[in-house]
């Protein structure tokens, strides 16, 4: 049974004030459910990254309401005292650059967040091995990032984003640095993860070729967010 994981209600973001004010997002309202993979499209500077950083509790909105996993986290002000803790425990992030820590090996990169969440070393290592195996890089545990290909690095980054068992994954251009074959492989993998692990995934992308792999498409234009009809 699908359930609401992200509920955005009249969320807005304005940078600056007075005559210099810039409205990045204007009263966005939408809902995303468990198991869904949602594309976030729009030209550069349209507000896509602002929107996902608000959902990820990194950027504070200027108004509106935000619910994550059924809990009200923002209602014209933060309803929680520790947004970093909420992110660590509930949200996985994937970036265009994999952002792996260069002096840690693959397993250490993946176990970092669970250990920060006071998960035991044994449990964190078991989870990391299972994820890396599932993602096809189980034989890279002891490698450092410099010894991995671009596609392998992004798979490790996906494993890291899943290490805290999040129900939300926010990905900002996760395939931009990959060739078309590896990009397709990563997108298929994210779709599989969403469906099998009941994770809600929002992916900022410019690659229109990937759109058939998404369940829904949201487009950001001039600060407004609207859902696009599928053909």
DSSP character at residue 76: S
Helix (H) or strand (E) run with residue 107 in it: helix 106-116
CA distances 218 to 10, 33, 52, 186, 211, Å, are 15, 14, 12, 20, 11
Q: Quick one: which of 154, 190, 148, 155 has its CA closest to 38?
A: 190
Q: Quick one: which of 25, 29, 39 has its CA closest to 4?
A: 29
pLDDT at 12: 96
Residues 6+ apart with CB under 8 A from 139: none
The domains of the chain, with CATH numbers, are: 35-49+82-228 (3.40.50.300)
Burial group, residue 213, by CB count within 10 angstroms (0-12, 13-18, 19+) = middle
* Each residue's pLDDT expressed in tens, for the chain with a length of 231 residues: 778 999 999 999 999 888 888 889 999 999 999 999 999 998 888 889 899 999 999 999 999 999 999 899 999 999 988 888 888 888 988 877 778 999 999 999 999 988 888 889 999 999 899 889 888 889 999 999 999 988 888 889 888 888 888 889 998 887 776 777 777 887 888 888 888 888 999 999 887 788 888 999 999 988 899 998 765
pLDDT at 163: 87
Alpha carbons 112 and 177: distance in angstroms, whole number: 24
Q: Quick one: which of 110, 114, 112 has its CA closest to 128?
A: 110
Q: What is the DSSP secondary-structure string of 24-35?
A: EEEEEEEEEETT
pTM for the full predicted model: 0.85
pLDDT at 193: 83
């Amino acid at each position: 049974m699908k359930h609401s994981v992200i509920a955005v209600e009249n969320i807005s973001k304005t940078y600056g004030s007075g005559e210099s004010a810039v409205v990045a997002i204007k009263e966005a309202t939408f809902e995303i459910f468990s198991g869904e993979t949602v594309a976030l499209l729009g030209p550069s500077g349209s507000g896509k990254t602002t929107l996902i950083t608000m959902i990820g509790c990194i950027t504070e909105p200027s108004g509106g309401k935000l619910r994550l996993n059924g809990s009200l986290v923002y209602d014209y002000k933060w309803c929680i005292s520790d947004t970093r803790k909420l992110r660590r425990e509930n949200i996985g992030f994937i970036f265009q650059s994999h952002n792996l820590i260069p002096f840690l090996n693959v397993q250490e990169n993946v176990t970092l967040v669970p250990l920060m969440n006071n998960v035991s070393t044994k449990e964190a290592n078991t989870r990391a091995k299972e994820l890396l195996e599932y993602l096809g890089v189980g034989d890279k545990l002891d490698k450092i990032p410099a010894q991995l290909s671009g596609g392998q690095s992004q798979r490790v980054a996906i494993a890291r984003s899943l290490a805290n068992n999040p129900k939300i994954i926010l990905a900002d251009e996760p395939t931009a640095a990959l060739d078309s074959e590896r990009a397709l492989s990563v997108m298929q993998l994210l779709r599989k993860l969403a469906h099998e692990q009941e994770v809600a995934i929002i992916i900022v992308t410019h690659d229109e070729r990937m759109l058939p792999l998404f369940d829904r498409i949201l487009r950001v234009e001039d600060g407004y967010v609207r859902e696009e009809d599928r053909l």
